[in-house]
Amino acid sequence: MSFLVERRGEYYEVKFESEPAYFHSLRMAPAEPEPMLNTGLWLILTFAIWSVPDRDAIASAMAVVRSLEGAVQLGVRPYDDPKEALTWMPEANVTGSPVWLVMKNGQLVEREIGTRSAEELQRAVLPHL
């Protein structure tokens, strides 16, 4: 599993290297969700760039989504300031990190906060397949 968290000007981004097309780097602090999130089932990880446990969560998310072989899309969105974490989805209304969201066809169906095991992530995603 290969990824990097890189600074691009005033933003950070996740770069996946040699990973499946169902792994997506999402823009930091957008005003609204990307249109692609309106289709299908997504596991979205919003993580603090300065948190080692949050960065470690990226590998967990990748492993879970990879095990589902494309049935779920993975979106990974960094933030620097907690105010940026969910600018694109204020209805998630959470504090803490990392933030795990399961979205189906653009609708929020599950929300978790904090470090989660692969089994916990699968339990959040599988009922929505």
Q: Tell me the C-alpha distance between 111 and 93, whole Å.
A: 10
pLDDT one digit per residue (tens) for the chain, 129 residues: 599 999 999 899 999 999 999 999 999 989 899 999 999 999 999 999 999 999 999 999 999 999 999 999 999 999 998 888 778 887 776 778 999 999 999 999 999 999 999 999 999 999 999
Residue 14 vs residues 44, 74, 81: alpha-carbon distances, Å: 13, 12, 16
Structural domain count, the chain: 1
Model pLDDT, residue 1: 59
pLDDT at 92: 73
Dist. CA 45–CA 95, nearest whole Å: 14
CATH code where residue 81 lies: 3.40.30.10
pTM of the full predicted structure? Answer: 0.94
Cβ distance 12 to 6 under 8 Å? yes
* pLDDT for the residue numbered 41: 98
Structural domain of 10: 3-128
What does the pLDDT read at residue 49? 94
